[in-house]
Amino acid sequence: MDKEKLMLFKESFMILGVMVFVVFYLLFTKMIPSIQAVSESSSQYKTQSATLGEKERILDTKKQAAIQAADSNIGSSKDMYKPMESGLDAESIVAGQFDDILRLLQANSIKTRSVKYDYNSPDDTFVKGASNILSACTLSMQMVATYKNFESFLKDLYKHEHFLDIAKIEIIPYSKNKTLLLVNFTLKLYAKKV
């Protein structure tokens, strides 16, 4: 009987050993890919976290630069042109500013081929938002200038004391004389109504 108990013990121990082996085998075959996936996810997370931190630092730097630029622009922003007389129509309100632009063109030896006026265009953002207090004139000009003269004109426009908007510049070299430019230029002039 002792031999029988010993054999039974050996058989149950072997069955238990096989079951433990099968359980460990199944766990490892299922867990190893999961462990690898977790490890890979962890490394990706670390990489993405580092990238996010770097991008956040860049974003903060750009935000600071934008705030500084906005602050400097506010300090140097230009006033709207304001005519001396009250009750003028749109053309009369902007006439003084247009006269300044003509003087700049003459001072820089720029010839105008044509000028088209559009007063208080309904497409203009400023006119839409403040048509009761602002008047606007869009000048669409065709000009002939040298490179240097046009550059000086743009610098003078930048220095102009009142707010204006350069909406479009299209420059085409003149085919017969490459030192000359044919310029399609759109400029928006704004003035406060009095």
Residue ranges covered by each domain of the chain: 1-77, 90-192
Measured CA to CA, the distance from residue 105 to residue 103 in angstroms comes to: 5
Q: For tokens 């046009």, what's the residue? A: 150
Give which of 41, 44, 64, 40 is closest to 52, Cα–Cα: 44
Report the percent of the chain where pLDDT is more than 90: 18
- What mean pLDDT comes out for the span 23-38? 79
Q: Which amino acid is at 96?
A: G
First-residue to last-residue Cα distance in the chain: 122
> 187 and 139 in contact (C-beta within 8 Å)?
yes
In whole angstroms, how far apart are CA 171 and each of 61, 76, 119, 125, 186? Answer: 36, 29, 24, 25, 12
Cα dihedral sign for 40, 43, 49, 51? negative
Please state the pTM of the whole predicted model. Answer: 0.54
- Non-local (6+) Cβ contacts of 185 within 8 A are 139, 140, 141, 142, 143, 166, 168, 169, 170
> 128 and 185 in contact (C-beta within 8 Å)?
no
pLDDT level of residue 64 (50, 70, 90 thresholds): confident
Quick one: fold of 90-192?
A: Alpha-Beta Plaits (3.30.70)
Report the percent of the chain where pLDDT is more than 70: 84
pLDDT level of residue 126 (50, 70, 90 thresholds): confident
pLDDT level of residue 83 (50, 70, 90 thresholds): low
